Each structure stands twice: as C-alpha cells, then as structure tokens.
A and B are shown apart, each in its own frame.
Chain A
Amino acid sequence: MTYHLETAEHPEKLRRVAIDPVSRVEGHGKVTLLLDEDNKVRQVRLHIVEFRGFEKFIQGRPYWEVPVMVQRLCGICPVSHHLAASKAMDAIVGAKRLTPTAEKIRRLMHYGQIMQSHALHFFHLCSPDLLFGFDSEVGQRNIVGVAAKHPETARRGVLIRKFGQEAIRLTAGKRIHGTGSIPGGVNKSLSVEERDYLLKDIYQIVAWCRDAVHLARELHETDPALYNSFGIFRSHFMSLIGADGQMDLYDGRLRARDDSGAIHFDGVAQADYEKYIQEEVKPWSYMKFPYFRALGNERGWYKVGPLARVQNCDSIPTPLADAERREFLDYAGGMPMHTALGYHWTRMIEMLHAAETIKDLLHDPDILGGDLMTTGERGFEGFGMIEAPRGTLIHHYRVDENDLVSMCNLIVSTTHNNQAMNEAIRHVARRYLHGREITEGLLNHIEVAIRAYDPCLSCATHALGKMPLAVELVDAAGTLVHRLQRDA
C-alpha cells in the first residue's frame, strides 16, 4: 500500500531535497522531498534509522541486566525503557504483584520522567517555534531567544524539568542510567529527607504546570486558523488505559479508538498485543509501520502519545488535570482533535497530571517503606508496556532456562507514530511548500510538524532546540543545486 505522496511515479525525473538531521546514537531521521521543475511536491518521506540491531544485541544477555542495558536506546527517556523492561522481567521472576512500595517508587520515577521529558520538549524544543512563529528570525528562534524575551517562561521550564530529574535521581539512583527498578521490584525507597526535599517544591511545580497548560491553550486560542489545522489528518489512536477508564501512564490495558472517537478495541491485555497490532516493513525506512490487524495496513495505522491519551481516557484521576482535559475536549467540540499542534496542549495537561500524581505519591507513606521485592514462580516470557512520554512503549522478551534472553521485540512510541508523522509532513508539504522556493523557514514548517510528535530524533537535540540539519536540493541529474546547512 502506498499513500498519496508516499511514492512518486517517476522519481528519476524529480529534484531531491533531503532534510537530514544529524543526530546521536539513538536515532537518525531524514526527510526527503522530491520536487518537479515547478517546485511541486511529488514525494515526501520521513525515514528513520533507529534501534537497528538493538533487539539482536539484547539476545544472549542475562535478563536482570536488561532493564539497565535498554536505557541505551534513548538519551532522553531512558527511564521509560528501564521501567518497561523491568515490568516485562517481573514476569520472569514470578512477581505477579509488586509490593506497594515498589509499585509507588516506580510510579514516582515514571511521572518524574514524564514531567522532565514534557518540560524539555515544550519549553526547550518547541516554545521557540510557538512563541516566535515557525518562520521567525532563525537567530532568535531558540531557547536563548525565549530566555531573553520570556525569561519567566524559560526559567520555569528549566525548574520543572529539574524537578522531574530530581524525582528520577532519588528513585533510580542517578538522573540518567539509574538502576532503581529491578525485576521483581526496586532496590531502594525514599528516605524521609529525600521525600521532604521533593515535597518542599511540589506545590510550586503544580502551579507552574497549570500555567503551562494555559499558555499552550492561549496559543491555540490566539491563532486558531493555524493551530487547528497545521499538520492535520485524521487517524485512529491508541494508549494504555487504567482501571475505570482512567488515564494511567504506568500500567493498564490497551484501548484504541477510530478517528471519530468510537472504540475500536478496549481492555486488551498487554500479553495480547500481537493479536491486535501488526508491523509492516517498507523498503525505504528502517522503522516499521505498525497498524491494527483488524483494519489492515491501509486503514489501520494510528497515533499514540499525549494527543491520543488525553482523548482516549474517560477521565484523569487528578482534579486539576482532569479539569483541563474537559476544557480541551470542549474546545475540540465533541470530536477528537487531530491537529499536530494539539500535541502541545495535551502534553502540558499530562505534565500537570504528572505533577499532581507526584504530589499525591509524596504524601503516601508507602514510598518510605522497606518491603521492596516480590518473587514467585519462574516465568519464561514477559510483556512490559508503559505510556512513555511519546506514547505506548512495548517490550516483549523470552528468557531461556539459563537466564539468557532468547527473544526480544520492542515497539517504541516513535514507531507507532511513523505513519502519522509521514502524513503530517505530507500535509505540511502540500500546504506550505508546494510550488515555492525552499527557504529555511519553510523547511522549519516540516520540522515543526515532526517535532510535535516529539520523536526520538528530536530528543537528540536538547540544549538549543533546533535540529542540526543539512538540506540539499539535487536536480534530476544528481547535481547539487542548493545547500542549506544549520548547525546545532
């Protein structure tokens, strides 16, 4: 199956433009556009080279090492992999139910991760585009520019992120590459001093996160024409859902809705994911294209992440975030919102939910407990799913009788969004680039659409919030016509 603009009929006659962000180990993404003589867009593809070989690399390693080792998959959300792998390995050590302390410490770690990742994404990576405009002066369109013009926003962004990182450090042992979560439980809980250290700032953090939701909302309200249509396309969406249909980013069952919001499947146990989701390989990208089996590869693709989650759950179990969720639904007018920029607003709602959840956990004496581990009957297959900052993350392993991993399958959030991101940039390319001379600002429109999904390739670009990239226009004969270079 090919989609409109996925594959051009005579590619050899077209000009090739490549947007080639050079990123670090965890991912390398590239956009290629094929243009005809009139600069009309004929083909648009987002290719991602990512995680190649990692599943192989894990094979043959002892299972207890995996939750720590998989953190190498991603430099920005290693905790998600750490926890998803731990959850899968819980089944290997027979821990059917964790101790309350272990479960809550893991949740604290996870919501800290959601907070730090969402803050990084919104404030560092995206606020420059959102506050200054997508084709604003490139010298200003970065976090340094935001710090100069909106110092309070930038400062809060830094401090919210830092708070999330501290929650990770205290539960995992380190901000990155921690070891806190282990098969069957955790290796530490919080001391009273550690708890109090987080507690003293959490109310401020909750308030700031609430302001951030309002900032995202105001952006939509001030420019609805842009925000309600940019990178828009309809699709199904999926996420884990907790008990009673509530949002739960740490655990739950899979629920999917179609583009109009009707339930496609619900209550699917994590171990059954393969019955509902299939992955397609395409020759031009290393990243697979997952889709819902029942609908087939043409119609079955979907999106994950904040925009999916906030609209998929029946409620959010913390009051402030739930109020914001309802406002968002009202704004969307009773139908699911599909615009790419809706991700920002919903991401901020989730950040608020994370802050409120952390606040509640800090008041729960279980996080100070000493009962950390559970064991039981040895298992040989484990499924670990979590709602990572970017969406549903699936880890699936089989472990042999010598304790070594014999099979590993990972479906990461960015992979679920693969087709969705391709659709988003095709939409943007049609609307903004068609028939025009390519400029940096126009190119940035493509990036804005990709970045809304917060894929791993944008994770690679923390500090200044811009993707280092080279864009080359090559004519049909292969001659370089024009080159734009931007460094991080």
Chain B
Amino acid sequence: MSQTFTLDGEEIPFRDGQTIIQAAHDAGRWIPHLCYHPEFKPHGSCKLCTVTVNGRHMASCTTQAAAGQTVESDTEALNGERRTLLQMLFVEGNHFCPSCEKSGDCKLQATAYELGMMTPHFDHFYPSRPVDASHPEVLLDFNRCILCSLCVRASRDVDGKCVFALSGRGIGTKLVVNAASGRLADTDAAIGDKALEVCPVGVILKKRRGFAVPIGERTYDKAPISETEE
C-alpha cells in the first residue's frame, strides 16, 4: 500500500527511507536545491530546499518523508526566503554571469532566474580568491564556490580519492585541494573523475572549453531549471 504526504496540496507517494525531496522529484515536483544531488548523501548545508513540514521549517533533502505530512514548498514566503539565501550566495563570492563560461549551465544562476531574484540586494564582499590553473586539463576558479561540497562527496564517495575538502569554519570556510602545495596539479585528480563533473557553478571547469556552446543551446536556455532537474 503506498503511503503519501501532501506537497502544496498535491498527494505525493513515497517509499520507506525516502526524503521529501526524493519523493517529490520522483513525482515530478521540483523543489529548489543546490547542495542536494540524487547520487550523493545529502549535506543539508545550503538550505535552499527548505520547506515547511506541518508548519515547521525543515530541509527537504535531509527530512524523511512520513505519511500524512503537510508539506509546503512553492509559497511566496518560502520563495522569498530562498531568494535571500541566493542573494547572500551571490554577494559572498565573485559571480559575474555575463563573463562566466558556466552561464546558461549554472544551477545558481538558473535557480535565481527561476525564483525571480532581480538584484543581489546586499553589499558585495568582493573576496580576493585565487584561480588554480596548475592542472593541464582543469581550471579551478574559487571565486564562484558556493561550498556545496558536491565535489568533496563525489571525490570521496565515488572516486575514492579525497581530492577536495572544505576547510575552516563559518564565514572563513573555503574549498581546498588535497596537496601540500595547495595546487590541483599535485593531487591525484584526473579527467574522468566524478568530482570534476558535479560542480553546479563555475568553479571546476574543463580547460579550453570556454564559450563553445552558443547562447540558445545551453542547458537552461532551453528550459528552466524546474523542468530540467533530476
């Protein structure tokens, strides 16, 4: 017998052990998210997937679905909170979409479009972050890191390598690579690693690819993220 909860009034079936976001996505309902990826253990850090469960704010990527839950997601209030989170992500890093090669394929940008974020609202931090171009095939542009840890999880859980790690705490948190020199070239990262594929924004980039895909043919040119996502 299938069990269900309601999401914005719609009955959503789920299997035991599924989180709310998994069940929702299986049912074709999109809940905004950045650090969640169906192939990895949830991290619960970006809070973009926050919904209300029986009136309480919960991260839907870490909350188990349970029969009879009343879940709200696509409400003006929650989307407003999500916009604020996005705005904070935009000002904490250096995101300049018009000259970023990830534009049109970037989940941060696509989610901001979807949720109608019009301006960054807050003062920019303009952090000074380096670019690591040491690896012959891969460029790291830390300016755009949103600390979602997807690369960390992919490297550890899929590639079995631990190329990436988050270091530091709070506002001082940053992404580091696992080499004494701090350079990607001195890690065992290699083309084909899952970790090099998962970045939702424009940090981990294949070199020399740049703007090869024309505007109009990029992922989110064709359909908004809510209709594109797993």
Q: Is B131 an interface residue (CB 8 A)?
A: yes
> Which of B197-225 touch A at CB < 8 Å?
207-216
B131 engages A183 (CB within 8 Å): no
Contact partner of A182 (CB less than 8 A), chosen from B98, B139, B212, B216, is: B212
A177 engages B213 (CB within 8 Å): no
> Which of A175-207 touch B at CB < 8 Å?
177-180, 182-183, 187-188
A400 to chain B, nearest CB (A): 8
Asked if A188 meets B133 with Cβ closer than 8 Å, knowing A62-B207, A71-B98, the reply is: no
Count chain B CB atoms within 10 A of each CB in A64, A93, A177 and give the residue with the most.
A64
Contact partner of B211 (CB less than 8 A), chosen from A64, A93, A403, is: A64
**Docked CA distance A61–B212 (Å):** 17
Contact partner of B210 (CB less than 8 A), chosen from A71, A182, A402, is: A182
B99 engages A64 (CB within 8 Å): no
Q: What B residues does A93 contact at CB under 8 A?
A: 208
Contact partner of A404 (CB less than 8 A), chosen from B99, B101, B131, is: B131
**Docked CA distance A71–B97 (Å):** 13
- Interface size (B, Cβ < 8 Å)? 17
Contact partner of A173 (CB less than 8 A), chosen from B101, B131, B215, is: B215
Q: What A residues does B101 contact at CB under 8 A?
A: 64-65, 68
- B135's nearest neighbour on chain A, judged by CB, is A402
Asked if A179 meets B207 with Cβ closer than 8 Å, knowing A62-B131, A71-B98, the reply is: no
Q: What A residues does B216 contact at CB under 8 A?
A: 173, 188
A173 engages B214 (CB within 8 Å): yes
- B97's nearest neighbour on chain A, judged by CB, is A177
A404 engages B211 (CB within 8 Å): no
Interface string of A143-186 (1 = CB under 8 A from B): 00000000000000000000000000000111001111011000
Q: What A residues does B208 contact at CB under 8 A?
A: 64, 93, 403
Contact partner of B98 (CB less than 8 A), chosen from A64, A67, A72, A188, is: A72
> Which of A399-436 touch B at CB < 8 Å?
402-404
Q: Is B3 an interface residue (CB 8 A)?
A: no
A198 to chain B, nearest CB (A): 16
Q: Is B134 an interface residue (CB 8 A)?
A: yes
**Docked CA distance A62–B209 (Å):** 11
Q: What B residues does A173 contact at CB under 8 A?
A: 214-216
B215 engages A61 (CB within 8 Å): no
Contact partner of A64 (CB less than 8 A), chosen from B134, B210, B213, is: B210
B214 engages A179 (CB within 8 Å): yes
Q: What B residues does A64 contact at CB under 8 A?
A: 101, 208-211
**Docked CA distance A62–B130 (Å):** 12
Asked if A179 meets B139 with Cβ closer than 8 Å, knowing A64-B210, A404-B131, the reply is: no
B215 engages A65 (CB within 8 Å): no
- A400's nearest neighbour on chain B, judged by CB, is B133
A438 to chain B, nearest CB (A): 40
A178 engages B215 (CB within 8 Å): yes
A402 engages B134 (CB within 8 Å): yes
Contact partner of A177 (CB less than 8 A), chosen from B98, B131, B212, B214, is: B98
A68 engages B133 (CB within 8 Å): no
A194 to chain B, nearest CB (A): 11
B99 engages A69 (CB within 8 Å): yes
Q: What A residues does B214 contact at CB under 8 A?
A: 173, 179-180, 187-188
**Docked CA distance A71–B211 (Å):** 14
Q: What A residues does B215 contact at CB under 8 A?
A: 172-174, 178-180
B137 to chain A, nearest CB (A): 10
B207 engages A65 (CB within 8 Å): no
- B131's nearest neighbour on chain A, judged by CB, is A60
Q: What B residues does A68 contact at CB under 8 A?
A: 98-99, 101, 210-211
A455 to chain B, nearest CB (A): 23
Interface string of B138-153 (1 = CB under 8 A from A): 0100000000000000
24 interchain pairs (CB within 8 A)? Answer: A60-B131, A62-B207, A62-B210, A64-B208, A64-B209, A65-B101, A65-B210, A67-B211, A68-B99, A68-B211, A71-B99, A72-B98, A172-B215, A173-B216, A177-B98, A177-B99, A179-B211, A179-B215, A180-B214, A182-B212, A183-B210, A187-B213, A187-B214, A403-B133
- Contacts from A to B (Cβ < 8 Å): 60-62, 64-65, 67-69, 71-72, 93, 172-174, 177-180, 182-183, 187-188, 402-404
Those 3 A-B pairs whose CB atoms lie nearest each other, nearest first = A173-B215, A64-B210, A69-B99
If A64-B208, A68-B98, A68-B99 are given as contacts, then 12 extra A-B residue pairs at C-beta distance below 8 Å, sorted by A number, are A61-B131, A62-B210, A64-B211, A65-B101, A93-B208, A172-B215, A177-B99, A179-B211, A179-B215, A182-B212, A403-B139, A403-B208
